[in-house]
A and B are shown apart, each in its own frame.
Chain A
Amino acid sequence: MNVPADLKYTKSHEWVKLEADGSVTVGITDHAQEALGDIVFLDLPEAGRQLNGGEECAVVESVKAASDIYAPVSGEVVARNDAAIDAPESVNQDAYAAWLFKLKPADAAQLDALLDAAAYTKIAAEA
């Protein structure tokens, strides 16, 4: 299973990268894209939208199913990946390169509740 050690994770299969400027980049894990199969559509939140941690904020649809994406922490959307919207298959090709959106966390302390790679690997292996 491809679970990079330098990222944080949620139990709903998002990955979270802590950026140097304090923002976070969010995507879905390699395990999640594998389970979904061929991804054909992304519905991503627009910049400026305020999200609560755990809120359904995006949808990833594969040929066979739709999957909700949850905000890993509360905050404001500062960017979304329009290139991934135009090429949803890029998420299958490299789930860690094809990010979905970036957030400015409202409370950096919420990041402490995210999973590390070892904890996520355990959850994904059981799913």
Chain B
Amino acid sequence: MGKRTPLYDRHVAAGAKIVDFAGWDMPIHYGSQLEEHHLVRRDAGMFDVSHMRAIDLAGSDAQAWLRRLLANDVAKLKTPGKALYSCLLTAQGTVIDDLIVYFFDPSHYRIVVNAGTADKDIAWMRSQTAGFDVELTPRPELAMIAVQGPLAREKFWAAFPAARAAAEPLGIFQGAEWNGWLIARTGYTGEDGYEITLPAAEAADAWNVLAAAGVKPAGLGARDTLRLEAGMNLYGQDMDETQNPLESGLAWTVDMKDAARDFIGKSALATRQIDKTFVGLVLQDRGVLRSHQKVVTAHGAGETTSGSFAPTMNQSIAMARVPAGVAPGDEVQVEIRDKLLRAKVVKPPFVRNGTPLVQEK
């Protein structure tokens, strides 16, 4: 038996198929992964993401410490509640994890990291605090529910009318505290919606209230196809400690603008030869792209990092790390079971707000 979130009983009651995910017993689907995917693209669905780990950061050096720790620059965060996506890098410039950091004030932040890497991340963070006035407080007692889809916000307001005044004005990638909850307009689906962080003891009630408001549960299976269509990386698959962000489609999260800022991994990235590029693939022939398939290009061989059938596009897509020089519009070949199938190179995302951005067939 793995670890269980406060919503485990809700999943079982809803008929979920439970699988192991990073040591947690999590719902992969509640009947049909495809239906749950479409529900989030067309209406609204809710995900239990309580296995992710919130870590509170406090101290007079909190901002200075994060500017050293993270590849993205938290100095950009000026409005309370604003969030930033960043990689956590090794000194060699490879990726320990990707995370979201919320700014409350220059002495108070919240960091949210992946489930499978949480212990490693916390140990790393703690090893980097010498000389800084900062205190890290992991919050395993908090639950997280992501409500996602074009109707997610309205349905959330209907479920929790008292929270509407706090939630409605939030811009993209912004959160607000309400009644002991953090309500943030963030997600991992390419759709609008909220991620709600709340005390574990309140999670099952909140889930039930959302269900009563017409929000159906969606599992980790749909979460994966939704994030892949949205062109969002998955740690451990699209990047890890053997890869750097510049060859993982994450250059936009590495902020080199402030020459005076020395973040961990910066010098390694600045001197590193970048000879790979990270692209999207849309399969032209019949089949399904998966991770770790060989990609044959005019510039040499590469590999898919994530691949699946894309339900919104009704064709198969992948993300791939390929030799520099491969560019959107190119045709490449992917080796699937000893056959070479044709794929078109595109720039992710594939789908945003319910609409396919690329339809290459």
The chain A residues found within 8 Å of chain B, CB to CB, are 37-38, 40-41, 43, 59, 61, 63-64, 66
- Taking CB as reference atom, which chain B residue is nearest A59? B337
Contact A41 B33 (CB under 8 A): no
**Mask: chain B, 207-226; 1 = CB below 8 Å from A; 0 = not:** 00000000000000100010
Query: What is the bound-complex CA distance between A63 and B17, given in angstroms?
Result: 15
**Mask: chain B, 1-43; 1 = CB below 8 Å from A; 0 = not:** 0000000000000000100000000001100111000000000
Question: Taking the nearest CB of chain A, how far is it from the CB of B145, in angstroms?
Answer: 23
Any chain A CB within 8 A of the CB of B286?
Answer: yes
Contact B286 A41 (CB under 8 A): yes
- Centre residue among A38, A41, A61 by max chain B CB count within 10 A: A38
Known: A61-B288, A63-B33. A37 touches B221 (CB 8 A): yes
- Could you say which residues of chain A place their CB within 8 Å of the CB of B116? none
What's the tally of chain B residues with a CB closer than 8 Å to chain A? Answer: 17
Any chain A CB within 8 A of the CB of B199?
Answer: no
The chain B residues found within 8 Å of chain A, CB to CB, are 17, 28-29, 32-34, 221, 225, 286-288, 290, 308-309, 311, 316, 337
Question: Taking the nearest CB of chain B, how far is it from the CB of A111, in angstroms?
Answer: 28
Known: A63-B225, A63-B308, A63-B309. A38 touches B287 (CB 8 A): no
A59-B337, A61-B287, A63-B34 known, 18 other contacts, Cβ within 8 Å = A37-B17, A37-B33, A37-B221, A38-B34, A40-B288, A40-B309, A41-B288, A41-B309, A43-B287, A61-B288, A63-B225, A63-B308, A63-B309, A63-B311, A64-B28, A64-B33, A66-B288, A66-B290
Interchain residue pairs with CB less than 8 A apart (30)? A37-B17, A37-B28, A37-B29, A37-B32, A37-B33, A37-B221, A38-B32, A38-B33, A40-B34, A40-B288, A41-B286, A41-B287, A41-B309, A41-B316, A43-B286, A59-B337, A61-B287, A61-B288, A61-B309, A63-B33, A63-B34, A63-B221, A63-B225, A63-B308, A63-B309, A63-B311, A64-B28, A64-B33, A64-B221, A66-B288
DSSP majority for the B interface? mixed
Query: What is the bound-complex CA distance between A64 and B29, given in angstroms?
Result: 11
Query: What is the bound-complex CA distance between A64 and B28, given in angstroms?
Result: 10
- Could you say which residues of chain B place their CB within 8 Å of the CB of A61? 287-288, 309
- Taking CB as reference atom, which chain B residue is nearest A56? B337
- Could you say which residues of chain A place their CB within 8 Å of the CB of B28? 37, 64
- Could you say which residues of chain B place their CB within 8 Å of the CB of A40? 34, 288, 309
Question: Taking the nearest CB of chain B, how far is it from the CB of A35, in angstroms?
Answer: 9
- Centre residue among A59, A64, A66 by max chain B CB count within 10 A: A64
- Could you say which residues of chain A place their CB within 8 Å of the CB of B337? 59
- Could you say which residues of chain A place their CB within 8 Å of the CB of B286? 41, 43
- Could you say which residues of chain B place their CB within 8 Å of the CB of A66? 288, 290
- Taking CB as reference atom, which chain B residue is nearest A65? B290
Question: Taking the nearest CB of chain B, how far is it from the CB of A120, in angstroms?
Answer: 22
Query: What is the bound-complex CA distance between A111 and B34, given in angstroms?
Result: 37
- Taking CB as reference atom, which chain A residue is nearest B35? A38
